[in-house]
Structure 1
Amino acid sequence: MTTLHSTTMQPPHLHLLTTTLLLLLLWAVTFPAFLSAVNLPEFREAPAFRNGNQCPNPTSSSSTIHIAMTLDSTYLRGSIAAIFSILHHSTCPQNTVFHFLSTHRPSAHLRRTILTTFPYLSFHLHHFDTNLVKNKISSSLRRALDQPLNYARIYLADLLPTSVHRIIYFDSDLILVDDIANLWSINLNSHVLGAPKYCHANFTTYFTSKFWASPLFSNVFQNRNPCYFNTGVMVIDLVKWRQGKYTEKLENWMRIQKRYRIYELGSLPPFLLVFDGNVEGVEHRWNQHGLGGDNRDGLCRDLHPGPVSLLHWSGKGKPWLRLDSGKPCPLDGLWKPYDLLNHAPLFSDN
């Protein structure tokens, strides 16, 4: 006769209690992520934008404009406004294809949001696996800069099909007031990347004193003319990127950062380290950045002198948050017409 010890079998009521606790624990871990993917804001349907008679056939790959943006629940309202502004000012909107990068899996809820807001839009959803940057991200001055999706732009050449030769990357906190074709058509010459450059900025502030004190690091800029550029607006030659293995070069600096702490500003410094001094300059009108306000004091910013084709609310303050709080900055009113959020009605029919 075999004797069962009490440690090998639980009474039925204890077994049920253990199972219940395990299920509750599993629910607590998975439900917030599920909820964030499902509980997305709702947006009004945008107008249908059609090509003019002078537009080339939208099915022709040579006439297609490719745009990449990230999508997540936090900045989705900004992304929708950006898409709307691009289509609104485009002469040939049907020739534009959007490539959305998201960490959500499944992405059915994001797909539904895009389809119901822009039923006519040509787009693709690409899953960004956060394991690609696991153990490569170091903490920065702002928690928002530490999110894995901020690093997805580094992997565009891997995430997009090789048939896509050129891409415009846009952040989610901007709007266009010009035809996207004018940015798409710039000549990158021999460069991999094009962006507005700001050579008056104090370049030393983007890296720590440890970086500048070590010739092993600081000599990377030797015989280069480095100028700050904002990675929220970039035109990228993906063919040259793949050939030059620039993703690996950016990752290498991220590994160095983890070990030596040579910068404080998230995904921007690796781009400066790899590309600065080798960027095709784009007119400043294509990135009127910093409209989010001073990163330390949150003060409102004015436009830079000169013409404007793109307004960019980089910085801590986002226009939708300031508008909702009733304390907008003066320029936030320029973003408001592109806000498609489906606000709750003031009165109910019930």
Structure 2
Amino acid sequence: MPPYPHHLATTITTLLLLIVLTQHSQVASTTTGDLPKFREAPAFRNGKECLKPTWPTQPNDPSTIHIAMTLDTTYLRGSVAGVFSVLQHATCPENTVFHFLAAHRRRDLHHTILTTFPYLNFHLYHFDTNLVKGKISSSIRRALDQPLNYARIYLADLLPSTVNRIIYFDSDLIVVDDIAKLWTINLNNHVLGAPEYCHANFTHYFTSKFWSIPQFSRTFKGRKPCYFNTGVMVIDLLKWRSHGYTQKLEQWMRIQKSNRIYELGSLPPFLLVFAGNVEGVEHRWNQHGLGGDNLEGLCRDLHPGPVSLLHWSGKGKPWLRLDSKRPCPLDSLWTPYDLFRHAPLFSDD
């Protein structure tokens, strides 16, 4: 085959270089691209009946409410809406402290929270993904396999020892009630409080292999296990630390790696450790499943009864459905808390 003419060879080389540079730019943009822009939230102030916030100068101040959430680029829009909803409905918003966990781009995420909520009392902690390296098994949905999805297991280790109690929230929910009502529930002798759903078929959360091997299935002996959703939990961190629950959850993750006893990410280890030993919370505090199932994310209705928290667990997320112009009816309840700053339809440029 004769060699290309010099001008043609130069053109081909230039095209190849452009392709390489374009691919490199695309890869870089996924890791270093701009984060979503948000409107600044208004300043929410305490009511007259609120005590003056004193944390962290007084670590055991009972009037301070601690909330933990994860932050990442994919769910950032949901996280911002969740924070906004808590503040808007709180009687004492200045007494609410947010503890955010992030694995990547902490400086950018910190800046986003600071500029969106200039008056917010918050702290941002690094979640080292090496903590779960080699412990995560693939599940039925890729989003469930992300390391940050397991950060809730390590709250007791990552948060200051002066934080003795925490509310954990997923990033796809909004609160429509005073958060103090959830914060002040009595956990009695339990480590964890959450709405329980005992009508759900508990056997579906584990494989047939799990139920066929006595050394696994007898873990529920003497317990009446019920399903609970780990996207809304009130946790006694003092008891958690003293009884080593992080290590107990990790042990089940190791067993899963070699035996494949469940399919649903970080949920089953919590069921294995806590189900049947949970302080039941009113169902109003987790109207979950609004994102549909884990495969199709179809629209769903609210459960019967009052509502204090709406949770778009499942595949369908309200911001994605709204942007695609295919929202579900209940997604309109999420819209008022969306601080995302859309690009203008017209520009002077």
TM over 0.5: same fold? yes
Q: Which residue of 2 aligns with 1:227?
A: 226
Give the equivalent residue in structure 1 for 2:34: 39
Instruction: Find the residue that maps to 1:126 and give its secondary structure.
Output: strand
Map residues 197-208 of structure 1 onto 2, 5 A cutoff.
197-208=196-207
**2:285 equivalent to 1:286:** yes
1:213/1:201 CA distance change after superposition, 3 Å: same
2:308 is matched with 309
Deviations 1:246-269 (A, max 9, x none): 000000000000000000000000
Counterpart check, 1:325 vs 2:320: no
Q: 1:85 — aligned with what?
A: 85
Hey, what's the Cα distance between the residues in 2 that align with 1:344 and 1:256?
Answer: 48
Structure 2 distance, partners of 1:280, 1:34, is: 45
1:16-60 CA distances to partner (integer Å, 9 max, x unpaired)? xxxxx9xx99x95x9946753552000000111000111001115
Measure the CA separation in 2 of the matches of 1:322 and 1:51. 35
In 2, Cα distance between the equivalents of 1:34 and 1:274?
40
> Could you tell me which residue of structure 1 aligns to residue 64 of structure 2?
64
CA RMSD after TM alignment: 1.7
Q: Secondary structure of the residue that 1:99 maps to in structure 2?
A: strand
How do residues 1-350 of structure 1 correspond to structure 2 at under 5 angstroms? 32=27, 35-60=30-55, 61-105=61-105, 107-350=106-349
C-alpha contact 1:294 1:301 (8 A) present in aligned 2: no
Q: Work out the CA distance in 1 between the residues paired with 2:182 and 2:49.
A: 18
Structure 2 alignment gaps of length 5 or more: 1-16, 56-60
The TM-score, its normalising length taken from structure 1, stands at 0.90
The alignment partner of 2:329 has SS state of coil
Question: Which whole-Å CA distance do the structure 2 matches of 1:325 and 1:84 have between them?
Answer: 23
SS state at 1:320 partner: helix
Please tell me the residue identity of whatever aligns with 2:43.
A
In percent, how many aligned pairs have the same letter? 77
2:70 and 2:101 in contact (8 A); partners too: yes
CA contact (8 A) 1:197 1:281 kept: yes
CA contact 2:110–2:124 (8 Å) conserved in 1: yes
Distance 1:273 1:86, change over 3 A: same
Deviation at 1:83, TM superposition (A): 0.3
| CA distance in 2: counterparts of 1:74 and 1:204, whole angstroms | 32
C-alpha distance in 2 between matches for 1:91 and 1:108 = 30
- The code of the aligned residue for 2:42 comes to P
Q: Which residue of 1 aligns with 2:4?
A: none
1:294, CA displacement in angstroms?
A: 2.8
Counterpart AA for 1:48: A
User: Bigger shift: 272-281 or 56-65?
Assistant: 56-65
1:12 equivalent in structure 2 = none
Are 1:86 and 1:176, in contact at CA under 8 Å, matched by a contact in 2? Answer: yes
Change (3 A) 1:243 1:33: farther
Structure 2 distance, partners of 1:293, 1:175, is: 16
Q: What is the TM-score with the length of structure 2 in the denominator?
A: 0.90
Contact 1:220 1:273 in 2 (8 A): yes
Whether the 8 Å CA contact 2:141–2:295 is kept in 1: the answer is no
1:192-232 deviation per Cα after TM superposition (whole angstroms, max 9, x unaligned): 00000000000000000000001010000011000000000
SS at match of 1:167: strand
Partner SS state of residue 83, structure 1: helix
- Contact 1:224–1:277 under 8 Å retained in 2: yes
